[in-house]
Structure 1
Amino acid sequence: MKFYNRKKELDFFEKIKNSKDKKFIVLYGRRRIGKTTLIKKAFKNEYNSFYYFIEVKKEETLLKELSLAFSKSIYMRWYDLFTELFEKYDYVIFDEFQNFYKINPEILYAFQHAWDDTENNIKLIVLGSYVGMIKKIFMEEKMPLFGRSDYFLKIKDFSLKDSLIMLKDFGYDIIESLEIYGMVGGIPKYLWLFKEKKDIKSLIYDIFIDDFSPLREEAKNILISEFGSEHKSYFSILEALAGGMKTTSEIKDISKIPQTSLPKYLNELSDIYEIISREKSLFSKKNKDIRYSIKDKFYNFFFYHIYRNYSLIEFFPEKAIEKIYNEFNTYMGFQFEEICKTFIQENPQLFDFIPENIGKVWGRVPYKKNESYDIDIVAYDENNILFGECKWNNKKVDLSIYDKLKLRSEFVNYGNKNKKFVIFSKSGFAEDLLSLKDKNLFLLTPENF
């Protein structure tokens, strides 16, 4: 299997390996992001290393099995086991580390004492997939491992650029690649599921709908493990958010969760679990003018297409795929906006400035009481501002769209910045727009990605 991306991370671990000091690194990120693959690649040539995957099982069983993984003796105390491990190996790696806490929180106290008492230059790396629990273990002051890690690193999705390279290697054209990216984002394990090239409709059926499809239950199982007994409330919010941005009021009306309870769930989904984002209209002075959206493309696709159609998928899968496929372009319309934002962030040289901020703008049209407007993308630095429109449909964009974008930009109080415009179109541009000679207008199609 070809190894894609992760150069920065591999370079980081090379520096760690060359350090003469004791180091404790926490590596966290959602499941399937490639943490284990990365670590195995980084340490594959290190002879004196120890890797162990922590499964949830009886504490006595785990203590025995972990003992026998590196010793002929069976340890009776966790402190003694960890101390011996830290003395014996140059590199100790625990995968799914949060499972120690699930089995018995007291194990972490023994772990802390053993680590504090270790004086050699061991490199300790722990991996965790359940973001909320890993943050609790290492970031809450009352926990024994608070403040112990030297690095607390999040492994992110593949970049848009690297994801498209991977999908191109599989044989997909750029439109198909963007559609797949819109479904699963840059999650390496999920991208590999698309290695056998098929049309998009067949891929959706085989990977999400068929009885034996690998991702039909994936999101639900991961999130139930993450959220625990309150998962139904979180699911209601995520279902309400699927597809596009919503206000708190809209989320309340759709999810039926009381207004008093909603902030807790929204804050946790945003700050702890890192599944949703909160966004304020750029340049707005209204502190409460906030909208929420699901930033994880896989969860967005799941709650927009799969979760709400479970019954149809279970009993009438052929009807389900028709319904999902017919609604797919609508879903991609919102995802295309997010993809275009990412493209700007990854390719700032095209626009001759590096954005300090990027987002959306919405509000009331001046002097028109009941008319509102929004601008898909606004990016700016101290001297420049870029206004963007994104169109994912089968119609060429004409001059009227540009005129509308210019008019809406006048509603924004952005100071004296140099104004630029970009229009992204799936299907290209009409001649009246292509014939314009405007150095501050950028016309981009998926072929530019």
Structure 2
Amino acid sequence: MFIGREKELESLQTIYEKDGFGMTVIYGRRRVGKSFLISEFIKGKKAIFYTATKVGAERNLELFSKQVFDVLDPAYSNATFPNIESVLDIITSKASSKEEKLILVIDELPYWAEKDDALLSVLQKYIDTQWLDKNLMLILCGSALSFMEKKVLSEKSPIFGRRDSQLKLDAFNYKDSALFVPNYSPEDKAICYGVTGGVAKYLALFDSSKSLDENIIKLFFNTDGYLFDETKNLLTQEFSDVTLVNNIIEQVASGETALNIIAAKVKEKDSTVLYSLEKLIDVGLVEKKKCITEEKNKKKTQYVLKDHMFKFWYQFIPKAISVIEMGQGQVYYEKVVKSGLHSFMGSVFEDMCRYYTLEHGILGEFGSFITEVGTWWGVEQMIDANGERFQQSADIDVVGISTIDKTAILGECKFKNEKIDKEILDTLIRRSKLISGSYNVTTLILFSLSGFTDWVKNTDMFNVKLITVEDLYK
């Protein structure tokens, strides 16, 4: 069943319906549903859909030629051609009809273009000299984010300026992810989002007729579960030195966020680790996080796992592999993992709350026109019981700012089986003063899984908003 991506389908349909040639570029990390989106779009349409593989330029040409003729003229599907121009000439002749537009899709473009330097230039030549007046739509798609951005979309690309649009597909947000498990409680929907990271392929594996626990056990805690080996499979596809990358991810997943500390832990040079971290950022697994009010401060930079599924996997699976291989993964899940889910969900819930804050803040629902959302961290000055001053680290989970009127809204998030009490609100009020010099703090928001104590609910502070997990899904 196809879920979500209505805007993307609408964008593709707009290009399809325009007169003459149209082109779009689709890119995004693996498993987010790029190919599934294209397959849904081309239903009922005349389309050549070729997926390139890591087999070299000549073999890709052979396979591409076969796919072209399977659609246009099956009698010649086994014919061979000396170059791609010979095949594109045939596509050009078939696209001259005004009755039905022909769609040409080249999926996983980097696999082919990396081994054939001329491919993009050849496509550029045909776009400029042959296709502009043809009833043809070209879709170029790829998972290698760095290649797609630098070689296909950048000004240095041969096909720069030829596209009508580009679509960067990200993982589903928490609300769209919930559409895959409509019968789950808000808490279970949130955890489902957390363990899948909103990645379409993983969400599609969830059987909504089964419980959250049953699905997690089946997918992660069985040797034949799709997600049991998924991290290794993805890293093997993207990296030559999987051992080093795996070690780096382990450190990031365990909470190490500084380059020099990560490098020391894996016993490699900073430059070597930085190269791998940048590649991990390119493929959408890691992000470089900055303090929202001090984005130019290089000292306030953290490397964190962007992919929640990877975080879940590295937190729970490595220690359980022997048990899972003995067929006792369910026992391990019930005794170890289930009680740790709320702790794991802490950072996931914060991401959900930031999304909610930006979504509603853009509409001005909190009294400010919020244009950015992120986190803040630093230190705060404290006084102990003896009147002695000391410093302690401090962070604010949700910081939404308006760059227009210099206002801010701040939030604290708790995904626990405890109600938020006065102490949490007092801490947020105290820490709000740490950024009030740069922004006028207009609203404080408490986000909670388990609700709020009577003291918090009865507070008469006009600028405090109380949001539950249920509210996030309304």
TM (norm. structure 1) is 0.89
Residue-pair matches, total: 443
Question: Are residue 421 (structure 1) and residue 444 (structure 2) matched?
Answer: yes
| Cα shift at 1:16 | 0.6
Question: Are residue 172 (structure 1) and residue 184 (structure 2) matched?
Answer: yes
Task: Give the aligned partner of residue 302 of structure 2.
Answer: 291
CA RMSD of aligned residues (A): 2.7
Listed as ranges, the matches of 1:256-267 within 5 Å are 256-267=267-278
CA contact (8 A) 1:384 1:420 kept: no
Residues 265 and 147 of structure 1, relative CA distance in 2, 3 Å threshold: farther
CA contact (8 A) 1:428 1:445 kept: yes
Task: Give the aligned partner of residue 377 of structure 1.
Answer: 398
CA distance in 2, matches of 1:110, 1:19: 24
CA deviation string 1:393-415 (max 9, x = no partner) = 11111111101110111122444
CA distance in 2, matches of 1:269, 1:58: 24
Listed as ranges, the matches of 1:62-211 within 5 Å are 62-69=60-67, 70=69, 71=73, 72=76, 73-89=79-95, 90-101=102-113, 104-119=116-131, 120-121=133-134, 122-139=136-153, 145=159, 149-168=163-182, 171-211=183-223
CA distance in 1, matches of 2:278, 2:462: 42
CA distance in 1, matches of 2:436, 2:298: 16
CA contact (8 A) 2:49 2:107 kept: yes
Task: Specify the SS of the correspondent of 2:181.
Answer: helix
CA distance in 2, matches of 1:45, 1:155: 23
| Cα shift at 1:60 | 4.9
CA distance in 2, matches of 1:344, 1:78: 50
Task: Specify the SS of the correspondent of 2:400.
Answer: strand
Task: Give the aligned partner of residue 251 of structure 1.
Answer: 262
Residues 325 and 283 of structure 1, relative CA distance in 2, 3 Å threshold: same
CA distance in 2, matches of 1:374, 1:68: 57
Residues 398 and 96 of structure 1, relative CA distance in 2, 3 Å threshold: same
CA distance in 2, matches of 1:25, 1:251: 39
Pairing partner for 1:279 from 269, 289, 313: 289
Deviates more, 1:27-36 or 1:16-25: 16-25
Task: Give the aligned partner of residue 415 of structure 2.
Answer: 392
Pairing partner for 2:349 from 336, 354, 367: 336
Question: Are residue 314 (structure 1) and residue 325 (structure 2) matched?
Answer: yes
Residues 46 and 401 of structure 1, relative CA distance in 2, 3 Å threshold: same
Task: Specify the SS of the correspondent of 1:438.
Answer: coil
| Cα shift at 1:143 | 6.3
CA contact (8 A) 1:385 1:418 kept: yes
CA distance in 2, matches of 1:195, 1:256: 42
Pairing partner for 1:409 from 424, 432, 435: 432
CA deviation string 1:222-257 (max 9, x = no partner) = 222122x13332222222122657222442344333
CA contact (8 A) 1:83 1:115 kept: no
Residues 314 and 248 of structure 1, relative CA distance in 2, 3 Å threshold: same
CA distance in 2, matches of 1:255, 1:443: 43
Task: Specify the SS of the correspondent of 1:182.
Answer: helix
CA distance in 2, matches of 1:283, 1:159: 24
Residues 103 and 407 of structure 1, relative CA distance in 2, 3 Å threshold: same
CA contact (8 A) 2:49 2:105 kept: yes
| Cα shift at 1:383 | 4.4
Q: Partner amino acid for 2:43?
A: K
Task: Give the aligned partner of residue 269 of structure 1.
Answer: 280
CA contact (8 A) 2:374 2:400 kept: yes
Residues 343 and 245 of structure 1, relative CA distance in 2, 3 Å threshold: farther
| Cα shift at 1:105 | 4.4
CA distance in 1, matches of 2:126, 2:249: 41
Task: Specify the SS of the correspondent of 1:67.
Answer: helix
| Cα shift at 1:198 | 3.2
Q: Partner amino acid for 2:392?
A: E
CA distance in 1, matches of 2:184, 2:149: 38
CA distance in 1, matches of 2:428, 2:230: 40
CA distance in 2, matches of 1:98, 1:134: 7
CA contact (8 A) 1:362 1:373 kept: yes
CA distance in 2, matches of 1:25, 1:335: 32
CA deviation string 1:335-385 (max 9, x = no partner) = 111111112122324423332221111112137444221111111112431
CA distance in 1, matches of 2:372, 2:83: 52
Pairing partner for 1:360 from 375, 392, 401: 375
| Cα shift at 1:320 | 4.0
CA contact (8 A) 1:79 1:111 kept: no
CA deviation string 1:192-212 (max 9, x = no partner) = 211243333332210112121
CA distance in 2, matches of 1:257, 1:308: 24
CA distance in 2, matches of 1:375, 1:329: 19
CA distance in 1, matches of 2:437, 2:20: 49
Q: Partner amino acid for 2:316?
A: H
CA deviation string 1:321-343 (max 9, x = no partner) = 23333332221112111111112
TM (norm. structure 2) is 0.84
Q: Partner amino acid for 2:422?
A: L
CA distance in 1, matches of 2:103, 2:271: 48
Where structure 2 has 5 or more consecutive residues not aligned to the other structure, the ranges are 96-101, 383-388
CA deviation string 1:37-87 (max 9, x = no partner) = 22232232334x322233444655543443343242432221111232244
Question: Are residue 327 (structure 1) and residue 340 (structure 2) matched?
Answer: yes
CA contact (8 A) 1:282 1:361 kept: yes
Q: Partner amino acid for 1:75?
A: F
Residues 79 and 201 of structure 1, relative CA distance in 2, 3 Å threshold: same
Q: Partner amino acid for 2:86?
A: D
CA distance in 2, matches of 1:430, 1:177: 24
Residues 224 and 135 of structure 1, relative CA distance in 2, 3 Å threshold: farther
CA contact (8 A) 2:27 2:142 kept: yes
Q: Partner amino acid for 1:437?
A: D
Task: Give the aligned partner of residue 224 of structure 2.
Answer: 212
CA distance in 2, matches of 1:260, 1:53: 35
CA distance in 2, matches of 1:249, 1:319: 38
